[in-house]
Structure 1
Amino acid sequence: MTETTSDPVRGARSELRRFIGVDLGGGRGKNTAVARLELGTGAGGRPRLTVAEAKVRHGQRGTGPVLDEPETEALFRDEVLVAYLERWVDDRTVVAIDAPLTLPPCIRCTLPCPTVPRCTVPVVQWMRRWAPKLRRYGRSDAGKPTITPYTQRATEILQQAVGIRPRETLGQGTGPLAARAAYLRRVLSPRLRLHDNLIEVHPRATIDRVFGSDIAQRARHGDDARVWATRKQVLVGLVEGIAFDYVWPELVVRNPHMFHAVLCAFTAFLWARHGYRGPADVEGSTPVRATADELTRAIDDFDTLWLEDGWVFVPPASARRR
């Protein structure tokens, strides 16, 4: 078993000991996976981070203890996923979900609409002001709008400015995920509270930020043997080192949803350990198009708007392995 070699979680989130990752799929549940990481104490009193579960359905050998599993439907459909989270979430737990946990500003808005160019909602004003500066590139369609606040959030604009590629909230194929995530948030409230013990993450961005774009690409594309080997490399090389109890690493690397669920949970651990702060985490990153000063001013101008608009937590540039 592997033990973490650095200090345990500190700061305001120092009491967190359980980190649950959810790679959310559609309502049928067949592409939804969960992973549960537990932070305990190993030999010599050193902190030990363990993958206690990683599964796409109940009852599968090598994905965690089976004796404690409830007698319920195998796949993580809504009722099963809710029951799982209600069972494991306590005051020392944070849940990280790979799906949009907030909707775009136009979808949330209840005011009469004056159209996007005339909108006075602060986050839409921010998008109008900063998107042209943060994303300066030629467009094949000169009439294409700079922003579409009915499909995207400000978090996507700001993170794209530093090379992070989050999925568009209501882009092609993500609408059903966003709708399911919104439903789950309502069902699990107030047990789960956004930015408190519930965070939005993106495992592909976590790999990219920690290991670099080449590793991130090889963990997704290529022949099976190379993809699995790269995923093993990622698991072995995670910053803290992870132990596997009742979970077979070979199953994790062969199933992309289980692999992403583990990365979601690990991102939650990093969020707690290092005190990720939201937009301030991209400070110090190298902008793709904008100047460093423009990026800083855009972050400052975003202020507390992200608390309602949402944020995708990924490791900062300083987390990159050298």
Structure 2
Amino acid sequence: MKITRRFLLATITALIAVVVGHFSHPSPVVAQQPVINLYSARHYDTDNALYESFTQKTGIKVNLVEAEADQLIERIKSEGANSPADVFITVDAGRLWRAKEEGILQPISSQVLNSAVPASLRDPDGSWYGLSKRARVIMYNKDRVNPSQLSTYEALTEPQWKGKILVRSSSNIYNQSLVGSMIESLGAQPTEQWARGMVANFARPPEGNDTAQIKAVADGVGDIAIANTYYLARLMKSDDAAEKAAAEKIGVFFPNQRDRGTHVNISGGGVVKTAPNKEGAIKFLEHLVSPEVQEMFAKGNNEYPVVEGVPVDPVIDAFGKFKSDATNAATFGKNNPEALQLMDRAGWK
């Protein structure tokens, strides 16, 4: 077949029209939902409702990755500049300090967070913020100890408590942070003397978690334990009759009320240095310190809100009001290496 010049021109013109028409009317593009990737060492199912409320409020979806704090820190480091992590949340200020020192967090500027979170419960540079708090208190067997005998952490080294004190291992971060706070307040040498006095008064070599110490006090293995408040609250709310019975034998005493106050630690979080969605990450942390969310966040693990005026869970509130140690939580991590060394020298296993 003979192709005429006129036919060829007509064909080319038609093709051009099709192409132009295609680009003039492109296929519709479906917008992707914005997301933040949350790396969390908090393992409480109740937190899921808080994430859902954030999505409903902002339209930003929360992708949750859960593991232990040290595992998450190492994962973020190994992912490097391509890490999808936006927010890192964990328990204990010492771990948050470690995350900052490892270079995985970035300082942020948020008037909402700075106004809501007390200065003692956040990083001075804005790299992390406390989101809930717990008190590390003296718990005692109500049948064996009169609370009038109790006063301070330091007084637990007195001879009357020989063979009567229960506490978990020095490898536990909560004990390390308590000792770190004492180093900041008292100095290293007095704190080491205190640790030696504590070891001399142990009822047994340290074993088990805080719950194990509380149950041992209830069973008469010792008279006194140092433990976080939420562990007792869990036993009080337990469906297990034996655990409830054990909890009923325990009293709570807030030490050092006439001086620096009772040691408090935190659950907290910060924005990851390489966060793909920094703006969304900041909004998420701000969401967690809003009054309505604070109440839910704290109740999820029987903790205290960090925001003043937020209602406290009735079980926790029944322990009583107390003065908190205002030592900045960042010092717990800063003093951690020295705390470990002096506890080791003191024989605190």
TM over 0.5: no
Q: Tell me the TM-score normalised to structure 2 length.
A: 0.26
| Higher Rg | 2
The normalised TM-score by structure 1 is: 0.28
